[in-house]
Structure 1
Amino acid sequence: MDPTETKKRDSSVDGRADAKGKRKKRQPEETHTNGSAKEVPEESVANGTNWELLPNGASVDGKDDSLGEVCKGPYKGIDLSFDGLTTSSMKWRKIRRENLDLDYAILFSRSVADALFDVLEEEVEYFTGDLAKVRVFGKWRSIPRKQGTYGDEGLSYRYSGILTPARPWPRPLRAIRDLLVRVTGHTFNFVLVNRYQDGNDHMGEHKDDEKELDRSAPIASITLGQPRDFYFKHQDARGRNKKFIDKVNIVLEHGSLLMMNYPTNNYWYHALPTRKAVHGPRINLTFRTLIQK
């Protein structure tokens, strides 16, 4: 459940247009935890964590297979075969705490991530009306970001009092899903797309614990666009009798992949906090495994 409220946001890429009314190309910023903009090397380690660098070429499940072709032919200027991308070309970083297991890597180069961002801006359909609201403490509130869901036929996802049906996979999301299978060794049948217009759009502390989810399967989170702060908080560090347990802070970079592995989601809440100094848009793809009924 996401106990947050919304603020109005522009539906354009960066909230600005040129003199002819056309949207400008996105110019993503690299930010640090204080919200200030700074250029960061593409392969930099996410801030605020003590990452363990895995052996070069090691993937999440230890495989070192060439990813090969995922989807033949170009699509709107993007080679969805992701030719040349192999597990050995990725630098995985791991962070562990008690009952927390994360893997992080830059999945897409800047140019590929830029192109994917632009095509998803054109093609992703976001919910409106009642499907753009959640129930919080008995009251319906607008979601402080845009959301859409895609997946295998017949799937739907229920959270915070709403039931979201899965639209059919568009070609770019299907190609990314198939790429993740080759990178991680895990299959996914559903993706939740969140679009954050700027630093006012956010995600409150929550655990993805809906009954439709396969709780033993990882969640694969891809960031395209504006880097954003992200943190994990242990469930025992919340509430009236909370214990002192350090939060785990991460900066999710443009083109990055974060794997939230079992049993992380059973014990740790996660959130994307408000950042007033952040002005760029971000698209987040969280690939999941839903239990087929």
Structure 2
Amino acid sequence: MAAARARGSGKSRVGGMRRFGAKSARLRGGRGLPEGGAARHSACAFASRRPPPPSPFSPPPPRPPRRRWSFQGQQVLLPGGVTSLSWPPMDRYVVKRPHGEVGDGGGKRPRAERPAAGQPPWQEIRAEGLSCDYWLLFGKAEADVLFQQLEEEVEYFQGEMTKLRVFGKWHNIPRKQVTYGDPDLTYTYSGVTFSPKPWIPVLNRIRDRITSNTGHTFNFVLINRYKDGGDHIGEHRDDERELVPRSPIASVSFGACRDFVFRHCDSRGKNATRHIKPIKLQLAHGSLLMMKYPTNVYWYHSLPTRKSVLAPRINLTFRKVMTTGKK
């Protein structure tokens, strides 16, 4: 009787396992079964199937949400007046400018060179009272060559020219320093008046590249060499009276990447009147930072000590200095 019932239902027992016969396979999905049988048979068939292997064209699984960075108290100015408060650490102040646009809009200038293939465009760095442009001026290979030439050809000051007066006291400069420029120019910084040395070919090469990319000309450069992370420069503004009013300062960096920090004048020291977070940048090997007006009116900048940095860095700040008769 049991065997007859098994044959009649299309099922058989083999080794204690129940298997569906050909008839039940044809009836999957409910075709020819009484009401209720379709559900039972289709459910068993679905449970017995293995999940198909993932297709190479299947969409990837959803990614966990990324961490978003916010800059409290500062707004980043974007094209069209749009503001944003959530950017990655370096890019939070960066606004990409349209391709081909250079300078600060102050008059007609020579047409700038187009960036090389794969080279990122100009980037605008904006905050309250801060206006800077950032650019990778030299590729790595060319920057390496220029760095080596600077190491071999630049002659730094010695003796009394290596001291600065701070709060009435004389201190040794925690770095090497020298100035180059046009004849008959002078530049006074922290109580010391510098007379520039004549231009040398490597400096002319860098200066010409800046002019071809920005349209600005410069007649003076201050060079600082930091042998490692122990050498540094404190907070200061490049606002000396010898500078041409509202002229930009072009800062070119070679060598080790160091933190470059802007701090608003209203948020310095114990008597700060406002809480404005400092802006920290990392200037790449071969990069150009154009500090435009009114940055040096409202913001101090510094290169703080970083003991973990063991390699040297050379920074050149090209300036427009007034001639003696115009001061």
TM-score above 0.5: yes
For 2:213 and 2:116, the matched residues in 1 are separated by 8
Partner of 1:50 in structure 2? 93
Partner of 1:149 in structure 2? 179
Matching of residues 106-121 of structure 1 within 5 Å? 106-121=136-151
The one-letter code of the counterpart of 2:94 is W
User: How does the TM-score come out when normalised to structure 1?
Assistant: 0.75
Partner of 2:133 in structure 1? 103
Partner of 1:60 in structure 2? 103
Partner of 1:253 in structure 2? 284
For 1:277 and 1:86, the matched residues in 2 are separated by 33
Give the SS at the match of 1:280: coil
User: Identity over the aligned pairs, expressed in percent?
Assistant: 52
**Do the aligned partners of residues 204 and 114 (structure 1) sit closer, same or farther apart at CA in structure 2, a change above 3 Å counting?**
same
The CA deviation string for residues 61-115 of structure 1, in whole angstroms up to 9 with x for no partner, is 5778364xxxxxxxxxxxxxxxx86699551111111111010011100000000
Partner of 1:187 in structure 2? 217
2:326 counterpart of 1:283:
no
2:218 counterpart of 1:172:
no
Moved more, 45-54 or 126-135: 45-54
For 2:117 and 2:180, the matched residues in 1 are separated by 26
Give the SS at the match of 1:265: helix
2:170 counterpart of 1:140:
yes
Contact in 2 for aligned 1:52/1:93 (Cα 8 Å): yes
Partner of 2:226 in structure 1? 196
The one-letter code of the counterpart of 1:209 is D
Partner of 1:26 in structure 2? none
For the pair shown, the structure with the greater C-alpha radius of gyration is 2
Given candidates 247, 269, 273, the residue that maps to 1:217 is 247
For 2:140 and 2:201, the matched residues in 1 are separated by 20
Partner of 1:244 in structure 2? 275
For 1:173 and 1:46, the matched residues in 2 are separated by 33
**Do the aligned partners of residues 96 and 252 (structure 1) sit closer, same or farther apart at CA in structure 2, a change above 3 Å counting?**
same
Partner of 1:11 in structure 2? none
Displacement of 1:240 after TM fit? 3.6
For 1:107 and 1:168, the matched residues in 2 are separated by 24
Larger RCO, structure (CA 8 Å, separation 6 or more):
1
The one-letter code of the counterpart of 2:176 is K
Give the SS at the match of 2:209: helix
For 1:57 and 1:228, the matched residues in 2 are separated by 29
Aligned residues: 233
Give the SS at the match of 2:99: coil
For 2:210 and 2:167, the matched residues in 1 are separated by 36
Q: Which runs of 5+ in 2 are unaligned?
A: 1-87
Q: Tell me which protein shows more helix as a share of its residues.
A: 2
For 1:50 and 1:262, the matched residues in 2 are separated by 17
Q: Which runs of 5+ in 1 are unaligned?
A: 1-44, 68-83
**Do the aligned partners of residues 246 and 46 (structure 1) sit closer, same or farther apart at CA in structure 2, a change above 3 Å counting?**
closer
The one-letter code of the counterpart of 1:254 is H
Contact in 2 for aligned 1:57/1:88 (Cα 8 Å): no
The CA deviation string for residues 141-161 of structure 1, in whole angstroms up to 9 with x for no partner, is 100000010000111111111
Give the SS at the match of 2:93: coil
Given candidates 226, 243, 256, the residue that maps to 1:226 is 256
The CA deviation string for residues 213-246 of structure 1, in whole angstroms up to 9 with x for no partner, is 1230000000001011001001000134311011
Give the SS at the match of 1:249: strand
Partner of 1:274 in structure 2? 305
**Do the aligned partners of residues 237 and 119 (structure 1) sit closer, same or farther apart at CA in structure 2, a change above 3 Å counting?**
same
The CA deviation string for residues 37-75 of structure 1, in whole angstroms up to 9 with x for no partner, is xxxxxxxx98364311112333235778364xxxxxxxx
Displacement of 1:259 after TM fit? 0.5
Displacement of 1:211 after TM fit? 1.0
Give the SS at the match of 1:199: coil
Displacement of 1:132 after TM fit? 0.3
